[in-house]
C-alpha cells in the first residue's frame, strides 16, 4: 500500500515544507502555505532535462539559426500587436482573467483563425464536454474541420494525442483542471499545476508547438496556483474588463519575445469578441454635447493613447457625511482631488455628494487624467458645459498646480485624428511644442483655475507658437 504523507506548499513561490509555518521561508509571504496529501507511487517524476532540442551541448550564439523561424499570425491585429507580431513557435503562453470575461471565447476564435490559415489546432478542455464546445462554436459561427477538440483532464493522454497529430497550436483550458498520474494529488493543487506546466513546457519546446494555457485567477486578481507558474511560461497575458460592459482589454504582463507595453482592445458582441482598431471612436460615439459635468481626456494604455469621456455628478448631500463614488477612477485620487479643489481653489464641496464615472467600463489610474476630472467636477458644480471638441490633459499636484505629462504630442496627434480642435495642457508641455499646426488651438495652464476659465473661454491664437501670457 502506498504511503501517504502531508506536505505544505507555498502558493506564491511553490516552496515545499514538511510542516506548516505562518511565513514562507523562501519568499517571505505570510499565510501562503497550504497542505496537500502526497502518496508515494512507483512512478517517478519525469527527469529534468533541458528545453528545446534533445542535445545539451553548448552552441555559440552566432551559430544558432533563426532565419527559418516565422511567427504564426492569429489574423487578429490586436492580439498580434500584444504578442509582438504573432505567436512564436514553441512558446508557452499563459492567459489569465476573471471568470466569464471571455478567455475561452477568445482562444476558440483564435483557434479557428489559425486552423483556417496555418494548420490543425488541438483544443483540450477540462471544463466543458465536446457537446458544450460544439454549442459554443455554433454561437460563434465556428465550424472548421481542422479544429480538433478533446474533453479530457489527463494531461498525459492529451500530450499523446498532440504528438500524434502535431498541431499548429495547442490550447489547454484550463491548467487548474489538468492532472498527471505520476503525482497523487488533486487537480489544481500546487504540485499538480507545477508538474503539468513543466511537462507542457518540455513538450512545446521539444516539438516546437506553440501552446496556450488558460489560468484561473484568485479574488485578488492573481493567477491561481504557485507564483512560479508565471516564471515558467514565456508569455503572460491578462484579459480584463467589466462583465456588464462590452469592452475587454488584453494586456501583456510578461513577454520574452516582445514588448510588454502594448495592449489589445476588444468588444464583446453577440457573435463573440470583435477587435477594435479605433477604440476612441467607439468610446466617444454616444457622447452628449448639451450636458455639464463631461470632459474628454487621453490616457495611455501601455503606449497606446485612448480618448475616453469622464462624467461627474455633484449634488447636495442628504446626510451628514458626503458620499464619494468613483467608477473606473481611483477613489483615493478622487478624494485627494476634491481636497485640492476645496483648499486651493475655493470650491465648496464639503456638503456635496460627488460621483464620477469613466465611460465604457475602463479603469483609468494615470495621473495625466487628473485635470480633466477636476474640470468635469467643476463643470457640473457650476452647471457649465465644456466644449465637445476639447481635450484636457494634466496632472494636478497637492498645491493645485498643473504638472507636465509624458507623451503629450502623441496624445494630441491621436485626438486630431478624431476631429478635436481645442486642447488644454500643462504649461510645461506647452513650451515644448514643436509642431506648428494652425488648425488646432492649444493653451497651456499652470493651475486648475486657469483650466476652468479657459475651458469655457478660448480666445487665444490658433497658432501654438504665437503664445499669449498664460494668465490671459
Nearest to 369 by CA among 431, 326, 314: 326
Same domain, 273 and 322: no
Residue 112: what pLDDT? 95
Tens digits of pLDDT across the chain (472 residues): 456 677 887 777 777 788 888 888 877 888 878 777 666 554 444 444 444 445 567 888 888 776 556 888 999 999 999 999 999 999 999 999 888 899 999 999 999 999 999 999 999 999 999 999 999 999 999 999 999 999 999 999 999 999 999 999 999 998 989 999 888 788 888 888 889 999 999 999 999 999 999 988 776 666 666 677 888 999 999 998 887 788 899 999 999 988 888 889 999 988 899 998 888 888 888 887 778 999 999 999 888 899 999 999 999 998 888 999 999 999 999 999 999 999 999 999 989 999 999 998 888 988 999 999 999 999 999 999 999 899 999 999 999 999 999 999 999 999 998 999 999 999 999 998 876 778 889 999 999 999 988 886 543 333 443 333 333 3
Cα angle 171, 173, 176 (rounded to 5 degrees) comes to 130
Buried b (16+ CB within 10 A) or exposed e, 129-140: eeeebeebbeeb
Domain contains 387: yes
Same domain, 77 and 204: yes
Give me the CATH number covering residue 100: 3.40.50.300
Same domain, 80 and 222: yes
Partners of 39 in the β-ladder? 4, 184
Q: What is the CB neighbour count within 10 angstroms for residue 57?
A: 6
Given a contact cutoff of 8 angstroms between Cβ atoms, the answer to whether 402 and 376 are in contact is no
Domain contains 51: no
Same domain, 294 and 265: no
Q: Taken in order 401, 342, 328, 275, is the CA torsion positive or negative?
A: negative
Same domain, 131 and 205: yes
Same domain, 272 and 285: no
Q: What is the CB neighbour count within 10 angstroms for residue 113?
A: 19
Which secondary structure element, helix H or strand E, spans residue 403, and what is its range?
A: strand 402-403
Domain contains 159: yes
Cell numbers that stand for 272 in this block = 463573440
3-state secondary structure of 344: coil
Domain contains 466: no
Enclosing domain of residue 34: 4-39
Domain count, the chain: 3
List, as one string, the DSSP characters of 38-70: EE--SPPPPPP--SSSS------GGG---TT--
Domain contains 58: no
pTM of the model: 0.78
Out of 240, 262, 277, a domain closes at 277
Give me the CATH number covering residue 323: 3.30.230.10
Amino acid at each position: 500500500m502506498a504511503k501517504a504523507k502531508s506536505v505544505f506548499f507555498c502558493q506564491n513561490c511553490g516552496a515545499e515544507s514538511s510542516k506548516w509555518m505562518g511565513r514562507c521561508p523562501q519568499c517571505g509571504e505570510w499565510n501562503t502555505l497550504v497542505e496537500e496529501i502526497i502518496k508515494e507511487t512507483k512512478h517517478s517524476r519525469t527527469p529534468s532535462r533541458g528545453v528545446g532540442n534533445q542535445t545539451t551541448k553548448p552552441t555559440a550564439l552566432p551559430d544558432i539559426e533563426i532565419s527559418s523561424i516565422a511567427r504564426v499570425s492569429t489574423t487578429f491585429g490586436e492580439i498580434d500587436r500584444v504578442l509582438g507580431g504573432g505567436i512564436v513557435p514553441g512558446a508557452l503562453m499563459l492567459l489569465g482573467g476573471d471568470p466569464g470575461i471571455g478567455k475561452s471565447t477568445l482562444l476558440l476564435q483564435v483557434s479557428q483563425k489559425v486552423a483556417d490559415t496555418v494548420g490543425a489546432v488541438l483544443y483540450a478542455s477540462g471544463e466543458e464536454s465536446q457537446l458544450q464546445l460544439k454549442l459554443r462554436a455554433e454561437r460563434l459561427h465556428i465550424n472548421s474541420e481542422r479544429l480538433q477538440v478533446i474533453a479530457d483532464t489527463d494531461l498525459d493522454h492529451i500530450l499523446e494525442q498532440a504528438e500524434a497529430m502535431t498541431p499548429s497550436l495547442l490550447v489547454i483550458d484550463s491548467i487548474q483542471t489538468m492532472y498527471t498520474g505520476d503525482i497523487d494529488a488533486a487537480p489544481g493543487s500546487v504540485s499538480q499545476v507545477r508538474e503539468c506546466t513543466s511537462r507542457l513546457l518540455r513538450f512545446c519546446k521539444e516539438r516546437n508547438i506553440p501552446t496556450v494555457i488558460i489560468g484561473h485567477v484568485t479574488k485578488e486578481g492573481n493567477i491561481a496556483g504557485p507564483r512560479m507558474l508565471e516564471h515558467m511560461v514565456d508569455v503572460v497575458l491578462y484579459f480584463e474588463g467589466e462583465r456588464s460592459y462590452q469592452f475587454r482589454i488584453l494586456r501583456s504582463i510578461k513577454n520574452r519575445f516582445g514588448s510588454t507595453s502594448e495592449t489589445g482592445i476588444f468588444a464583446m458582441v453577440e457573435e463573440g469578441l470583435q477587435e477594435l482598431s479605433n477604440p476612441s471612436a467607439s468610446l466617444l460615439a454616444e457622447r452628449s454635447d448639451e450636458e455639464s459635468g463631461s470632459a474628454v481626456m487621453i490616457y495611455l494604455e501601455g503606449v497606446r493613447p485612448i480618448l475616453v469621456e469622464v462624467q461627474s455628478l455633484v449634488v447636495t448631500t442628504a446626510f451628514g457625511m458626503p458620499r464619494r463614488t468613483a467608477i473606473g477612477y481611483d477613489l483615493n485620487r478622487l478624494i485627494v482631488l476634491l481636497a485640492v479643489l476645496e483648499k486651493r481653489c475655493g470650491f465648496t464641496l464639503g456638503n456635496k455628494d460627488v460621483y464620477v464615472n469613466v465611460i465604457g467600463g475602463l479603469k483609468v489610474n494615470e495621473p495625466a487624467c487628473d485635470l480633466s476630472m477636476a474640470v468635469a467636477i467643476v463643470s457640473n458644480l457650476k452647471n457649465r458645459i465644456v466644449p465637445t471638441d476639447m481635450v484636457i490633459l494634466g496632472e494636478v499636484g497637492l498645491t493645485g498646480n498643473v504638472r507636465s505629462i509624458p507623451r503629450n504630442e502623441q496624445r494630441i496627434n491621436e485626438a486630431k485624428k478624431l476631429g478635436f480642435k481645442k486642447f488644454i495642457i500643462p504649461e510645461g508641455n506647452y513650451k515644448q511644442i514643436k509642431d506648428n499646426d494652425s488648425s488646432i488651438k492649444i493653451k497651456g495652464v499652470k493651475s486648475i483655475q486657469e483650466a476652468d476659465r479657459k475651458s469655457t473661454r478660448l480666445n487665444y491664437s490658433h497658432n501654438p507658437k504665437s503664445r499669449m501670457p498664460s494668465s490671459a
